[in-house]
C-alpha cells in the first residue's frame, strides 16, 4: 500500500526529493505549496513539475488515503464525517464552528483500548494506529469541503481529541503536529492546537514538554480521587493520580504553559458539590496554570448507567470551582442533534452494516 505524501514533514519530503528522486531541493518546496496552499487532488495538477518527477511521485505516494462515507450536518453548524481508510476500517472527524474560527477534532487510532467506561470511542477496541498521513488527511478533507463549496473559510484550530489515545500513537502524532504547524503550508498556529491525553503513559507528557512545539495540553481527568477515577477510567489502575500529576507538574515546570483539565459531568457519579471541592483541592496548588473544562455528557446507548448531569448540578459544581479561585468554563455543546459523542457515528454505522473489513 502506498504511503500518503501528507505523512511527510517538509524535511522528509526534501530528503526524498534529493536522495530518492534525484531532484533539486527546491522541488520539495514547490510540491509542498501544491499540497497545502493550492490543495490539489492529483500530482498531475502540479504543472511546474516534470512528467518524470510526477511519475516518481505517483509510483511512491498517494495524496489522499481517505474516502468519505457519511457526512452529518447539525443545525448549529457542526459537521461530522465518517471516513474509510485504505484497509476499509473507519474513523470519525468533527468540524465545530466556534466564535474564534473553524475547529477540527481529529482521530488518531482505529478504536481505543483505554477502557473509559462512559466513552463511545472504546466500544470497539483498537485495531491499529492512524498514520500521520491519515491524520493530516482529515484536516485536508475538511478544508476541501469548504473549498469545493466556494466558501472563503479555513481550518484555524485543531483538537486531537477524537477516537483513540494520541500519546499511544506518539510518533505519528508529532509528525502530524509538525506538518500542520508548518508556516509554509496550513500554518495552523501551535497555540491553536490542543492534544488531549488520559495519561496512559505519564512519561510521554514529559517528552511532549521537551519537543519544542508550543501546542496546548489537555488532560482527560473526570474524577478527583483514585477510587472514582479507577471506576470510570481503567487506565487509572496502572497510572493513578499521583503519577499523572507528577508528570503534569514536570510539564508545567518545563514549559510554564497552562494545562486544561477535561471533566465530563455524569449525573450522581462525579457531579456533587463535595466532589467539586475535591477537584478544587487537587488543582488549587496548580491553579495559576490550570483551566477546568466542564463537559456535558452525550449519552451512549451501550452505557445506560450514565446520564447527563442536570443544569443545576453543573452550575453548583462550577460555583464551587470558582469560589476556590479556579479558572473554569462549562463547554458549549456542539452537534447535539446528530451522533454527538465521539465514536457514536462509527459504531452505529458498523452495526448497521457499513463494511469494516480488510
Domain locations in the chain? 3-62, 67-351
For residues 61-89, average pLDDT: 94
Distance CA 271, CA 268 (A): 6
Task: Give the position of cell 473526570.
Answer: 222
Catalytic center residues: 92, 342
Cβ atoms of residues 62 and 5 within 8 Å: yes
Looking at the predicted structure, is the pLDDT value of residue 335 above 60?
A: no
Looking at the predicted structure, is the pLDDT value of residue 137 above 90?
A: yes
For residues 259-269, average pLDDT: 97
Distance CA 145, CA 102 (A): 12
Looking at the predicted structure, is the pLDDT value of residue 306 above 60?
A: yes
Looking at the predicted structure, is the pLDDT value of residue 340 above 70?
A: no
pLDDT at position 353, please? Answer: 56
Q: What is the pTM of this model?
A: 0.92
pLDDT at position 337, please? Answer: 59
pLDDT at position 304, please? Answer: 73
- Over residues 12-50, the pLDDT tens digits come to 999 999 999 999 999 999 999 999 999 999 999 999 999
Domain 67-351 part of CATH 3.20.20.70: yes
pLDDT at position 342, please? Answer: 57
For residues 224-248, average pLDDT: 97
Please report which helix (H) or strand (E) contains residue 273, including its range.
Answer: helix 273-283
Q: What is the DSSP string of 136-181?
A: HHHHHHHHHHHHTTT----EEEEEE-SSS-GGGGHHHHHHHHHHHH
Contacts of 202 (CB under 8 A, 6+ apart): 239, 243, 244, 246, 247
Domain 3-62 part of CATH 3.40.50.620: no
- Over residues 168-212, the pLDDT tens digits come to 999 999 999 999 999 999 999 999 999 999 999 999 999 999 998
∠ CA 245-119-140, nearest 5°, is 90
Cβ atoms of residues 340 and 301 within 8 Å: no
pLDDT at position 305, please? Answer: 83
Q: Which cell goes with 227?
A: 477510587
Amino acid at each position: 500500500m502506498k504511503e500518503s505524501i501528507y505523512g511527510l514533514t517538509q524535511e522528509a519530503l526534501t530528503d526524498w526529493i534529493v536522495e530518492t528522486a534525484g531532484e533539486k531541493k527546491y522541488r520539495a518546496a514547490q510540491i509542498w505549496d501544491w499540497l497545502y496552499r493550492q490543495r490539489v487532488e492529483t500530482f498531475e495538477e502540479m504543472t511546474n513539475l516534470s512528467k518524470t518527477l510526477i511519475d516518481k511521485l505517483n509510483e511512491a505516494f498517494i495524496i489522499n488515503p481517505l474516502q468519505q462515507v457519511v457526512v452529518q450536518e447539525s443545525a448549529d453548524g457542526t459537521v461530522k464525517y465518517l471516513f474509510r481508510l485504505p484497509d476499509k476500517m473507519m474513523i470519525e472527524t468533527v468540524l465545530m464552528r466556534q466564535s474564534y474560527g473553524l475547529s477540527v477534532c481529529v482521530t488518531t487510532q482505529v478504536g481505543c483500548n483505554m477502557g473509559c467506561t462512559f466513552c463511545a470511542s472504546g466500544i470497539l477496541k483498537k485495531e491499529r494506529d492512524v498514520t500521520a498521513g491519515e491524520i493530516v488527511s482529515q484536516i485536508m478533507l475538511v478544508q476541501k469541503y469548504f473549498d469545493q463549496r466556494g466558501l472563503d473559510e479555513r481550518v484555524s484550530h485543531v483538537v486531537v481529541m477524537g477516537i483513540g489515545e494520541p500519546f499511544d500513537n506518539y510518533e505519528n502524532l508529532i509528525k502530524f503536529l509538525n506538518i500542520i504547524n508548518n508556516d509554509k503550508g496550513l500554518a495552523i498556529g501551535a497555540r491553536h492546537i490542543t492534544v488531549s491525553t488520559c495519561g496512559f503513559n505519564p512519561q510521554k507528557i514529559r517528552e511532549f514538554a521537551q519537543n519544542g512545539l508550543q501546542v496546548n495540553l489537555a488532560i482527560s481527568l473526570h474524577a478527583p480521587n483514585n477510587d472514582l477515577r479507577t471506576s470510570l477510567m481503567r487506565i487509572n489502575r496502572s497510572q493513578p493520580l499521583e503519577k499523572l500529576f507528577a508528570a503534569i507538574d514536570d510539564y508545567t515546570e518545563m514549559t510554564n504553559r497552562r494545562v486544561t483539565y477535561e471533566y465530563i459531568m455524569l449525573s450522581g457519579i462525579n457531579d456533587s458539590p463535595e466532589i467539586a471541592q475535591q477537584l478544587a483541592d487537587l488543582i488549587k496548588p496548580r491553579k495559576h496554570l490550570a483551566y477546568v473544562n466542564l463537559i456535558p455528557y452525550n449519552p451512549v446507548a451501550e452505557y445506560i448507567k450514565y446520564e447527563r448531569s442536570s443544569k443545576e448540578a453543573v452550575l453548583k459544581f462550577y460555583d464551587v470551582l470558582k469560589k476556590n479561585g479556579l479558572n473554569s468554563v462549562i463547554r458549549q455543546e456542539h452537534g447535539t442533534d446528530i451522533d454527538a459523542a465521539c465514536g457514536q457515528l462509527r459504531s452505529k454505522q458498523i452495526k448497521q452494516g457499513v463494511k469494516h473489513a480488510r
